[in-house]
């Protein structure tokens, strides 16, 4: 089959392209502003990339067009379509589908090789938890397939097919596992359901749930409804692994659940996690016991920071047990977990008398994620070291000004904060006014760098947070600090 992917350089669509190519399909694709590293990764797989969405790409005559959710029916100021290729596809009557739909039909649930899908959903921690779960299954010798919205450093790739079951192994207990990051964002311009509705998992993790994606959801209740749509697709023999500390997820379950439940969380007594379906922890984030039924069943010792990663680990361990990996084995394997690129990733250090300045890169962009990331770093470096939090409100939700009032709260544990306000329609300086002299706001990346360099001291930890490239700030900052 020849598939032509519109929006191929997105994280999800790029991973789908890699899976399709590995499965033996001919893959071509297009995007605007084709750029590394995804462009290099795709070309290394022999995938032809085309710049832009010109209508003449219909001459490729693929068997099906796979449409990314970056594509729309939008018009430019002059009235011309923003995506001429999509208009040509519609006019011609050619076959097209969404990325999640194609993935479900040709990879996750192909009749000749159906998979046991383990889906990881949640506002925060999807990428990290998906990577943890894939690594646990790999360490157990299961050779899972996976599709992750990042690059797990244990694997070095964001997607792979993994070991395929034979055509005769079609019952639920023989299906080879496939771990997928299950995003609640909409599927395509012609399918406004959340992506994860297509995946039909047998094991589903509901990690947490807060309001996000204000560009497509009106309120938290609307997102809760989508999460319940996911719960509805899990069979009775399946398992829903749910964070018991989240009231929003309890509201999701209150709408109905027809599968077995495994609940995890930190407040064991308050949430009844010492019961038969409960998972909790005892100890600090870098060295803790895993408790099931109130009894220790494993221990995690690693270099990963943050209470949020304790929760991520609990979710992954509970999900792995559903496919036969013991909690002790799962916990032990996490000792070798190397995290994900752009998750508290050290980008470099600059030597200074009295202590190196360390620069980190992290994907945090939602206020809760920013707070938990800063908290994790604080726990690692102690109370005497300074944390300089450098961030840009870049997500669609933050650009719309939703949750902007939570930013001072999210940065409470940082010694100094630096906000890149370029492209915002709201006044970041006014929003952050309560932080006083602890915060500086700048309209360009170069200005932010100059502000950080002016105050950086020996031993500082500079934490850069964004869900985008942040204008290459990490390398520029390291170079400026070294001058």
Q: What are the DSSP calls for 66-86, one per residue? A: EE-TT----B-TTS-BS-HHH
pLDDT at 405: 82
Question: Nearest Cα to 68, choosing from 54, 53, 81, 47?
Answer: 53
Give the angle subtended at the CA of 364 by the CAs of 359 and 369, to the nearest 5°.
125
pLDDT at 179: 98
Which residues, 6+ apart, have CB-to-CB distance to 224 below 8 Å? 209, 248, 251, 252, 255
pLDDT at 294: 87
Question: Nearest Cα to 69, choosing from 189, 172, 151?
Answer: 189
pLDDT at 318: 96
Q: pTM here?
A: 0.81
With a cut of 50, list the residues of the chain below it in pLDDT: none
Buried-state track 278-310, b at ≥16 Cβ within 10 A, e below 16: bbbbeeebbebebbbeeeebbbbebebbbbbbb
pLDDT at 442: 87
pLDDT at 214: 64
pLDDT at 410: 83
pLDDT at 173: 60
Which residues, 6+ apart, have CB-to-CB distance to 65 below 8 Å? 3, 4, 5, 6, 89, 94, 95, 96, 97
Give the angle subtended at the CA of 10 by the CAs of 427 and 196, to the nearest 5°.
95
CA distance linking residue 81 with residue 90, whole number of Å: 12
* Residue 107: how many other CB atoms lie within 10 Å: 23
DSSP SS3 for 253: helix
Q: Are the C-beta atoms of 96 and 64 separated by less than 8 Å?
A: yes
DSSP 105: I
DSSP 359: E
Q: Are the C-beta atoms of 268 and 278 separated by less than 8 Å?
A: yes
Question: Nearest Cα to 420, choosing from 459, 359, 464, 453?
Answer: 464
């Amino acid at each position: 089959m020849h598939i032509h992917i519109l929006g191929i350089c997105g994280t999800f669509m790029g991973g789908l392209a890699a899976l399709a190519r590995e499965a033996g399909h001919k893959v071509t694709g297009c995007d605007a502003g084709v750029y590394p590293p995804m462009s290099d990764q795709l070309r290394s797989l022999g995938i032809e990339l085309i710049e832009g969405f010109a209508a003449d790409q219909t001459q490729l005559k693929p068997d099906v067009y796979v449409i990314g959710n970056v594509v729309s029916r939008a018009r430019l100021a002059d009235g011309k379509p923003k995506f001429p290729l999509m208009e040509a596809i519609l006019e011609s009557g050619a076959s097209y589908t969404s990325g999640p739909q194609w993935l479900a039909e040709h990879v996750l649930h192909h009749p000749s090789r159906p998979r046991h899908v383990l889906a990881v959903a949640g506002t925060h921690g999807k990428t990290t938890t998906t990577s943890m779960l894939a690594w646990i299954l790999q360490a157990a010798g299961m050779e899972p397939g996976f599709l992750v919205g990042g690059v797990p450093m244990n694997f070095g790739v964001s997607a792979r097919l993994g070991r395929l079951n034979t055509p005769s192994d079609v019952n639920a207990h023989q299906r080879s596992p496939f771990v997928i990051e299950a995003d609640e964002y909409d599927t395509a311009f012609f399918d406004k359901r959340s992506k994860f509705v297509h995946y039909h998992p047998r094991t589903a993790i509901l990690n947490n749930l807060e309001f996000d994606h204000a560009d497509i959801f009106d309120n938290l209740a609307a997102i809760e409804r989508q999460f319940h749509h996911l719960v509805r697709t899990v069979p009775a023999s399946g398992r829903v692994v749910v964070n018991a500390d989240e009231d929003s997820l309890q509201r999701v379950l209150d709408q109905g659940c027809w599968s077995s439940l495994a609940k995890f969380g930190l407040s064991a007594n308050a949430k009844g996690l010492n019961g038969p379906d409960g998972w909790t922890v005892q100890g600090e984030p870098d060295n803790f016991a895993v408790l099931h039924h109130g009894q220790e069943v494993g221990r995690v010792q690693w270099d990963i920071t943050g209470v949020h990663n304790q929760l991520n680990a609990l979710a992954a361990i509970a999900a792995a047990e559903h496919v036969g990996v013991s909690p002790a084995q799962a916990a032990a394997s996490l000792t070798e977990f190397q995290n994900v690129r752009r998750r508290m990733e050290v980008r470099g250090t600059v030597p200074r008398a009295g202590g190196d300045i360390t620069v980190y890169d992290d994907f945090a962009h939602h206020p809760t994620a920013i707070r938990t990331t800063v908290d994790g770093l604080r726990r690692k470096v102690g109370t005497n070291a300074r944390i300089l939090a450098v961030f840009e409100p870049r997500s669609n939700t933050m650009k719309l000004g939703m949750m902007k009032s939570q930013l001072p709260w999210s940065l409470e544990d940082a010694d100094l904060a630096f906000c890149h306000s370029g492209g915002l329609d709201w006044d970041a300086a006014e929003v952050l006014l309560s932080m006083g002299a602890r915060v500086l706001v700048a309209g360009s990346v170069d200005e932010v760098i100059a502000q950080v360099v002016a105050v950086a001291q020996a031993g500082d930890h500079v934490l850069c947070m964004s869900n985008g490239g942040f204008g290459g700030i990490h390398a520029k900052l390291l170079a400026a600090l070294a001058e």
